[in-house]
Amino acid sequence: MEVPTPPPAPDTTAPPGAAPGAAGTAATAQPAVVALKVLFVDDEPDLAPLIRQTFRRHVRDGRYQLDFAADGVEALERLDADPEIEIVVTDINMPRMDGLALLGHLRERERNHKAIVVTAYGDMENIRTAMNQGAFDFLTKPIDLSDLETTIANARVLVEREREAQLVRQMFGRYLSAEVAAALLSNPGVLQGERREVSVLMSDLAGFSAIAERLEPEGVVELLNVYLGRMTELVDRYGGTVDEFIGDAVLAIFGAPVSRTDHAGRALACAMAMQREMADVNSELARRGLPPIDMVAAVNTGEVVVGSIGSERRSKYGVVGSPVNLASRIQTLAAPGEVVITEAARRAAGDAVQVAETREVALKGFADPIAVHFVTAAAGISGVDEGDLELPTSVDALVTLDAPLPVTYSVLDGKEVSGAQARGALAAVSSTRAVLRTDEAMEPRSDLRLTLPVAGGGSGDMYAKVISASRTDSGPEAVLRLTSVPEDVGAALRAAAP
């Protein structure tokens, strides 16, 4: 390589942007920069000191870090030792491995770099080969050092843009699956609001408020992180998008921003997988000394508006529409371990969905009764590779009490008591269920708060959902799924069992 005469050294004592002679004045604070690592590959022994002299100011202010190699073989060793090298300036004619061969190796390794090739003037064949191998730019010999600085500065702009894009991808990745993040980054137009048929999955923890009251705040956060982390992984696996976390609830959408014809099947399969995952979640919580939790899940399908929601200062990609509200409403009908879906979701998911119960329910905000199905299994769901899916069905046996345990109970509307206290008695119990005898018939799928005596002469509350109601010779009777049982209440139930 022909070594050019270096340009006059600039006045390095003056702050950037200062007029000549301004050395010694206070420099304006500059934002922190990330050093750009540049590797020069050339067998010319005089190159390294010349480059160090030319870029000494940039090295001193932290904008560049320089490294050198005598040929392509040594360059690969340098690159392997320091994966953060982002720009390679390489000669073509070198011993052992030339610059074009080096470019080929870099391309095979899919290195994230910008290569600037040094070549003889008019050597168009080598230039075309270098550009086809992914070179960013080329320089002719003898090198004009001003031209070299400009070319590296241009490469730096592109590198910094790619750094910012990678940061955006990483930030997106904390909230969206890799597939969804890629769709948003490659096609920002999907952020504009549009009508689309999607499936909405809503899951929630049963009795979480009571659990949160008994735990320290750090324990609540740890429990939620374990649970929400597992659920998010499943939403990603089935091709959904977590729209938001609402406390302990997960709202996910399937079919946007990535359009899918099999969104209902994916949403249903995901809900069932979430229920199946709860055994492992509770094993992990037990290892951490945290209490077990139960989950309910619901799926609905319908036309919504999806896109960027919010203001110019703050917004998110989300979904709005009546189908979202309906998914939230029917989710309150599910007992722990259950998945409830609408008729629209069942039709969209296919005929292979098996249900244990179908009910028509009147819901707030909806003029007509809504048909809902409580799913037990599904087979042959489009877009799902697992084959047949089945919910866990283990049910502990009820133990009939020698003497019914008196209780008082109230019907809940959401988390609020909607009626006066009434008296009843527990005729049978297990760790998760109970049989309640009452004077008045109970409405299936209603929520109850029950108060019963505990050790020490006091009383304690537990919460339950009515699974089924019937009339026996002894009067109205309801089978309850217990949703929240504090330890003192659980001890009282165990003590009452024979």
Q: What's residue 73's pLDDT? A: 92
Give the pLDDT confidence score for residue 22 in this predicted structure.
42
Q: What is the pLDDT of residue 186?
A: 63
Contact predicate 241/180, CB 8 Å: yes
For the chain, first and last CA: distance in Å?
96
Domain boundaries defined on the chain: 36-171, 190-390, 399-496
- As given in the structure block, the two tokens for residue 214 are 């008994």
CATH of segment(s) 36-171: 3.40.50.2300
For the domain made up of 399-496, give the CATH fold: Thrombin, subunit H (2.40.10)
262 Cβ neighbours under 8 A, 6+ residues apart: 381, 382, 383
Measured distance CA(262)–CA(383) in Å, rounded: 6
pLDDT of 32 reads 54
Measured CA to CA, the distance from residue 338 to residue 393 in angstroms comes to 10
pLDDT score of 15: 41
DSSP 188: G
Is the separation of the CB atoms in 419 and 446 below 8 Å? no
- Tokens, residue 302: 């319908």
Q: In this predicted model, what pLDDT tens digit does every residue of 98-154 receive, in sequence order?
A: 888 888 887 777 656 788 888 776 677 777 787 777 788 888 888 788 888 888 888
Beta strand ranges found along 229-274 (DSSP E): 241-246, 249-254
E strands, 321-387, are 339-342, 353-361, 370-378
Q: Can you tell me which residue has the tokens 């659980």? A: 490
Question: What is the three-class DSSP state of 441?
Answer: coil
> Which residues, other chains included, contact 3 with Cβ-Cβ below 8 Å and sequence gap of 6+?
44, 46, 47, 50, 142
**pTM score of the predicted model:** 0.65
Going residue by residue through the chain, which has 498 residues, state the pLDDT in tens, using 9 for 90 and above.
444 544 444 444 444 444 444 444 444 444 456 788 899 999 888 888 988 988 888 898 888 899 999 998 998 999 888 888 888 888 888 899 988 888 888 777 765 678 888 877 667 777 778 777 778 888 888 878 888 888 888 887 887 777 666 665 555 555 555 555 666 666 655 556 688 899 999 999 998 888 888 899 999 999 999 999 999 999 988 889 888 888 889 999 999 888 888 999 999 999 999 999 999 999 999 999 999 999 999 999 999 988 777 666 666 667 889 999 999 999 999 999 999 999 999 999 887 788 889 999 888 878 889 999 999 988 766 556 666 678 887 778 899 999 999 999 999 887 777 778 899 999 999 989 999 999 989 999 999 999 999 888 888 999 999 999 998 888 899 999 999 998 889 999 988 887
Selecting from 2.20.70.10, 3.30.70.1230, 3.30.200.20, 3.40.50.1370, what CATH number does the domain 190-390 have?
3.30.70.1230
According to the model, what pLDDT value does residue 189 have?
A: 55
